[in-house]
Amino acid sequence: MYTEASQSLKSVRDLIRFAVSRFQEANLVFGHGSNNAYDEACYLVLHSLHLPIHDIAPFADANLLPSEIARVLSVIQTRVETRKPAAYLTNEAWLGDFRFYVDERVIVPRSFIAELLRDQLAPWIQVPEEVVSVLDMCTGSGCLAIVAAEVFPNADVDAVDLSSDALDVAERNVTDYQLDNRVQLIQSDLFSNLEPKQYDIIISNPPYVNAESVDALPPEYLHEPELALGSGEDGLDATRVILMNASQFLIPGGLLIVEIGFNREELEVSYPELPFQWLDTASGDQFVFMLTREDLIDAGY
């Protein structure tokens, strides 16, 4: 089929149509930057041709060189046959306007916290310039730490992860953004290796997939580090450690912001004494909670 395609397809539009057909035929799963076959086809075709990924119109009917067609078809075939997320094929992922290097040492960035950070955590942070210290727990590629450093211009950011491989990727991204003097990378199993210090804000997108869901993950997700996905039987093991320790690392009035996926009901049942404030994101208000230091202390944490 791919040999026939290389002889028959001529334009960008042709290649996108072909990719959508192959992706749907193969029942690919999306969720690593796009949520449907068409958007992913557009991204992979345009990226492979070194064209702007957000503007297809000027190029849709452009005829392509045989070598360009071969390059794109190779990417399409690899996506179908390996089921690797597109981000691992292009070595890039986007959070809004922020671009990050990624490979299979880190989970593909996709955090609702990034959306909240882009608004500088308004209205809970009234003067962004007064934020001077941020902790990003489970930093992975360093994406949230970098966004935090960009939106809070006077803040130093500590970015923590257990995986040395992930921290190697984070180091590359921190250097790409020229933030080496403001973002410190720390290898630690959650808080266990941190020096005593208090932060204005702690953010975390920890592992939160429960055991049943881990067992049912489609092939695309199995390319991601297992360490970054599962967190015990109910998906809350890491979150429990964060709740138990965060107050010691927050200034008075400091904020704890944690993403927990689809575990809201389980979390609220487990911690009825905590006044979780659920933050609105584009996909709803069930994915990210906020607590203050005082909320945690009043509940005995």
User: In this structure, how many other beta carbons lie within 10 angstroms of the beta carbon of residue 123?
Assistant: 7
State the DSSP string of 163-174. -HHHHHHHHHHH
CATH 1.10.8 domain extents, the chain: 2-90
Binning pLDDT at 50, 70 and 90, where does residue 234 land?
confident
One-letter amino acid for residue 134 of the chain: V
Q: What are the phi and psi torsion angles at 69 (to 5°)?
A: -60, -40
Please write the tens of the pLDDT for every residue from 95-133. 989 999 999 999 999 899 999 999 999 999 999 999 999
Domain 2-90 adopts which CATH fold?
A: Helicase, Ruva Protein; domain 3 (1.10.8)
Per-residue pLDDT, 55: 84
Return all residues near 24 (Cβ < 8 A) that are at least 6 apart.
Answer: 37
Could you tell me which CATH number the domain at 96-298 has?
3.40.50.150
Q: What are the phi and psi torsion angles at 278 (to 5°)?
A: -95, 125
* Side-chain half-sphere CA neighbours of 197 within 13 A: 16
Helix (H), strand (E), coil (C) string for 196-243: CCCEEEEEECCCCECHHHHHCCCHHHHCCCHHHCECCCCCCHHHHHHH
Burial of 180 (0-12, 13-18, 19+ CB in 10 A): exposed
Apex 55 CA angle, 50 and 57, nearest 5: 105
State the residue for tokens 């580090």.
Answer: 225
CATH 3.40.50.150 domain extents, the chain: 96-298
Percent of the chain with pLDDT over 70: 100
Rounded to a whole number, what is the distance in angstroms from the first to the last CA of the chain? Answer: 60
Please write the tens of the pLDDT for every residue from 249-290. 999 999 999 999 888 999 999 999 999 999 998 877 789 999
Tokens (6 digits) for 92: 């890039």
Tokens (6 digits) for 117: 């950070």
Whether the CB-CB separation of 114 and 145 falls below 8 Å is answered with no
Per-residue pLDDT, 160: 98
Please write the tens of the pLDDT for every residue from 127-183. 999 999 999 999 999 999 999 999 999 999 999 999 999 999 999 999 999 999 999
Whether the CB-CB separation of 148 and 134 falls below 8 Å is answered with yes
**Measured distance CA(262)–CA(286) in Å, rounded:** 7
